[in-house]
Amino acid sequence: MVGFIIRRIAWAIPTLAFVSFIAFFIIQLPPGDYVTAYAAQLKHSGEYLSPDQEELLRQQFGLDQPIFIQYLDWIGNILLHGDFGRSLEWNANVSDLIWDRLGLTLAISTLSMIFTWAIAIPIGVYSATRQYSFFDYVFTIFGFVGKGIPEFMLALVLMWLGFVYFNFDVGGLFSAEYATAPWSYDRVIDMLKHLWVPVVVLATGGAAGLIRVMRANMLDEMGKPYVETAYAQGLSERQVIWHYPVRVALNPFISTVGWALPALFSGDIIAAVVLNLPTTGPLLLKALQMQDMYLAGSFILILSVFTVVGTLLSDILLAWSDPRIRYG
């Protein structure tokens, strides 16, 4: 196991270097650069930049340098100084922009993942042990509907229901009086009142899919000889189900840690935009639209690190949960 972890970490370093360069390069593939996008934005508001002014801005931002030089400056500052650069669009340090929103993103995503697992695991087990029962059909319908409804549409429906029938202040994570207020007990309570919509929206699609996965895996495991042997030893149904086939059927859940970590960081961008959430997703979308390569590149680099770490954690947890898994 130790040798496997060391080899994976050794492979992760060149992988991250390659991904960071490709990401930085792809961000600059569209025609023009940040100055071009900025000039177009000013033009819509009736202001104009002359070609000389645009060139001065490019020199000021270092955009007149070759892409490879820009990349080396950026990645060198990250590795040597922990400096992710300065956002061209926001005129602020990238680190400050990301970490300011990261706490709220982690809170929403973590609660959504916990909610997803809390729904999917027991329902999947119940559907498998009560195959073709009435509630099995009900949960099957929920699975298909939950996967078929886009998250942004579900967000709009929940916002409408909450506003029309329950008089909830929907949209965003805070009421107007708490949006810029310092953290306090009242602000936390206000956030919790708004938090149910994004948590339900983000958890519904994931729970619907994992219910079907859990049910299918349980049905596959329950027909194997070791389950029949456990019943023959006089164990109750609850002991047999939760101590044996459930542990093996949880492998797909454990393997999702690889993408769960980056998902915790980025959140769901479209749902966050619709719900007006102050999370990292909309910030990444804005950075890509404006070709703010330092901000967008930093996002993608962090997501890549989370993906590599999450995949490593998935492999270790799988080996721990299922003794049949071995690594050469």
Q: Given this model, what pLDDT does residue 328 score?
A: 52
User: How far, in Å, are 32, 59, 195, 322 from residue 24 at the CA level?
Assistant: 15, 19, 34, 39
CATH number of 248's domain: 1.10.3720.10
Residue 90 is predicted with a pLDDT of 83
The candidate with the shortest Cα–Cα distance to 268, out of 179, 210, 214, 200, is 200
Q: Which two tokens stand for residue 87?
A: 């956002």
| Residue 143 included in any domain | yes
Tell me what pLDDT residue 291 has.
Answer: 78
CA distance 178 to 112: 23
Half-sphere exposure of 120 (CA within 13 A, CB side): 26
Q: Is residue 301 part of a domain?
A: no
pLDDT tens for each residue of 176-208: 788 778 888 888 888 888 888 888 888 887 788
Beta bridge partners of 87: 92
Q: CB–CB of 222/292 below 8 Å?
A: no
pLDDT, tens digit only, all 328 positions of the chain: 677 677 777 887 888 888 888 878 877 777 777 888 778 777 777 778 888 888 888 888 787 888 888 888 888 888 888 888 888 778 788 888 888 787 788 788 788 888 888 888 899 899 988 888 999 899 888 888 887 888 778 888 888 887 787 777 777 788 878 877 888 888 888 888 888 888 888 888 778 888 888 888 888 888 888 888 888 888 888 888 888 888 778 777 777 766 666 666 665 777 788 888 888 888 888 888 877 888 888 888 888 888 877 777 777 777 676 666 655 5
Establish if 279 belongs to a structural domain. Answer: no
pLDDT of residue 93: 86
Q: What are phi and psi of 93, to 5 degrees?
A: -65, 135
Q: What CA–CA distance (Å, rounded) separates 310 from 315?
A: 9
For residue 235, the enclosing domain spans 100-266
- Residue 46 covered by a domain: no
Buried-exposed string 215-251: b where 16+ CB fall within 10 A, e elsewhere: bebbbebbeeeebeebeeeeeeeeebbeebbbebbbb
| Residue 193 structure tokens | 């009142």
Provide the domain count of the chain. Answer: 1
User: Does residue 108 belong to any structural domain of this protein?
Assistant: yes
- Residue 271 neighbours by CB under 8 Å, 6+ apart: 151, 152, 155, 198, 201, 202, 277
Instruction: Supply the pLDDT for residue 26.
Output: 79
83 within a domain of the structure (yes/no) = no
Condensed to tens digits (0 to 9), the pLDDT of residues 72-122 reads 888 888 888 888 888 877 878 888 888 878 778 878 878 888 888 888 889
* Residue 89 within a domain: no
Would residue 54 count as lying in a domain?
A: no
Q: Residues 6 or more apart from 179 whose CB is under 8 A from it?
A: 172
